């Protein structure tokens, strides 16, 4: 087990990678706890939950709405939760987002922690203090920065993930390798069979490396005013593709990374070999697909992106593995590039 600290906003958040889910009971208060989870996670692990009330949501992005938060808040009142209460989110990115947001606004803020059950959540969503819900189709438009007291990443739980959920999470792991820790890329290339077989020891090592990098970025820039923007690599195009195609987040981000890599190559920030190496890695893990959509649709969806500043947007390029950089560009430049790439 490895403990990684996020020190942001005067708060310490402890991430436990390789910690077993059975240890959760000693990490939470003895009373005043409510568990938030989804139906899928409950069906697999519900019998192992600590003996506290459980509120369940429907799985998937469709639950990330204010109406879900309102219903859950009513449930907390029914269970007499007050300002001394504690919320434990057990699930993937959607559950963690909703739990953190609800805890941040209920009675102006109560404590919370996560048991992260998906690879995408373990390497990305549960670390860093971003909590929020969608507004219609616009992702994470309503949210807050607030750190969980702890996050437990039990990589044994990844064995029960559906295959598409697991590979979706691998995309965010590859992203961290591209922008922050090139050793992740090397391991994913060398040990691809172990990764495909979900070897828990190897996954604990990879998740630990990803969390360490993200923790260092969040500690330096919790509110995404500078350095933290590099974590959005692949997400500008990716979020638009996710909304248009209705696919899982990781697959859309992989498509967004592919476009960002091709643009970095076109501008001669990276060489062809580096670009092809990463694209081959996407292929190795079944992360390449037909992402094409019309430039007009791309423009409309990017216009709602939170990274926009007027008619400009912060966009992440790379100069090589571990060498991201951010440029503020007119949205029109993104669409011009996208129009060119779709014609090739």
The verdict on 140 and 224 lying in the same domain is no
Distance CA 38, CA 112 (A): 17
What is the model's pLDDT at position 308? Answer: 78
The verdict on 246 and 203 lying in the same domain is yes
Are 256 and 238 a contacting pair, CB within 8 Å? yes
Q: Which of 113, 130, 160 corresponds to the end of one domain?
A: 160
Q: Which of 113, 140, 160 corresponds to the end of one domain?
A: 160
pTM value is 0.93
Are 34 and 87 a contacting pair, CB within 8 Å? yes
The verdict on 85 and 215 lying in the same domain is no
The verdict on 222 and 94 lying in the same domain is no
Residue 210, both tokens: 């990803």
The verdict on 294 and 176 lying in the same domain is yes
CATH of the domain at 11: 3.40.50.1970
Q: What is the Cα gyration radius of the chain? A: 20
Residue 340, both tokens: 């060119």
The verdict on 41 and 156 lying in the same domain is yes
Give the rounded distance of the alpha carbon of 226 from its chain centre.
19
pLDDT digits (tens, 9 = 90+) for 98-148: 999 999 999 999 999 999 999 999 999 888 889 999 998 788 889 999 999
pLDDT digits (tens, 9 = 90+) for 210-221: 999 999 999 999
What is the model's pLDDT at position 266? Answer: 96
Domain of 25, in residue numbers: 2-160
What is the model's pLDDT at position 303? Answer: 87
The verdict on 76 and 60 lying in the same domain is yes
Residue 344 has pLDDT above 70, yes or no: no
10-14, 87-91, 105-109, 161-165 — which is least confidently predicted?
10-14
The verdict on 126 and 268 lying in the same domain is no
Task: Give the angle subtended at the CA of 175 by the CAs of 206 and 332, to the nearest 5°.
Answer: 170
Domain total of the chain: 2
How many Cβ atoms are within 10 Å of 86's Cβ, its own excluded?
A: 20
The verdict on 97 and 226 lying in the same domain is no
pLDDT digits (tens, 9 = 90+) for 305-314: 877 778 899 9
Pairing mode, strands 111-116 and 150-153 = parallel
The verdict on 113 and 97 lying in the same domain is yes
Q: Which of 138, 160, 182 corresponds to the end of one domain?
A: 160
Task: Give the angle subtended at the CA of 127 by the CAs of 116 and 216, to the nearest 5°.
Answer: 145
Tokens 């920030």 sit on residue: 269
The verdict on 187 and 288 lying in the same domain is yes
82-91, 123-132, 157-166 — which is least confidently predicted?
123-132
CATH of the domain at 275: 1.20.1090.10
Distance CA 121, CA 100 (A): 13
pLDDT digits (tens, 9 = 90+) for 248-263: 999 999 999 999 999 9
State residue 142 phi and psi, 5-degree precision.
-110, 110
The verdict on 90 and 227 lying in the same domain is no
């Amino acid at each position: 087990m490895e403990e990684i600290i996020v020190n942001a906003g005067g708060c310490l958040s402890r991430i436990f990678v390789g910690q077993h889910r059975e240890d959760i009971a000693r990490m939470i208060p003895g009373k005043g706890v409510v568990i938030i989870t989804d139906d899928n996670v409950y069906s697999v692990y519900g019998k192992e939950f600590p003996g506290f009330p459980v509120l369940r949501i429907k799985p998937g992005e469709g639950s990330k709405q204010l109406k879900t938060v309102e219903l859950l808040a009513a449930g907390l009142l029914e269970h007499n939760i007050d300002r001394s209460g504690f919320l434990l989110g057990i699930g993937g990115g959607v559950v963690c987002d909703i739990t953190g947001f609800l805890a941040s606004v209920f009675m102006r803020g109560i404590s919370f922690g996560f048991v992260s059950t998906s690879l995408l959540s373990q390497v990305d969503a549960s670390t860093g203090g971003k909590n929020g819900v969608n507004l219609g189709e616009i992702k994470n438009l309503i949210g807050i920065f607030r750190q969980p007291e702890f996050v437990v990443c039990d990589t044994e739980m990844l064995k029960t993930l559906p295959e598409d959920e697991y590979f979706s999470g691998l995309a965010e792991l590859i992203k961290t390798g591209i922008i922050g820790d090139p050793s992740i890329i090397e391991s994913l290339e060398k040990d691809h069979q172990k990764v495909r077989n979900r070897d828990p020891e190897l996954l604990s090592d990879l998740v630990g490396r990803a969390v360490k990098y993200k923790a260092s970025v969040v500690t330096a820039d919790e509110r995404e005013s500078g350095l933290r923007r590099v974590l959005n690599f692949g997400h500008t195009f990716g979020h638009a593709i996710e909304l248009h195609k209705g696919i899982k987040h990781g697959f859309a981000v992989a498509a967004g990374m592919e476009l960002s890599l091709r643009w970095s190559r076109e501008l001669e920030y990276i060489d062809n070999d580096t670009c092809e190496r990463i694209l081959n890695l996407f292929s190795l893990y079944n992360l390449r697909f037909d992402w094409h959509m019309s430039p007009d649709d791309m423009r409309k969806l990017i216009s709602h992106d939170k990274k926009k500043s007027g008619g400009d947007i912060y966009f992440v390029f790379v100069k090589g593995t571990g060498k991201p950089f951010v440029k503020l560009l007119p949205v029109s430049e993104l669409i011009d590039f996208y129009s060119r790439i779709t014609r090739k």
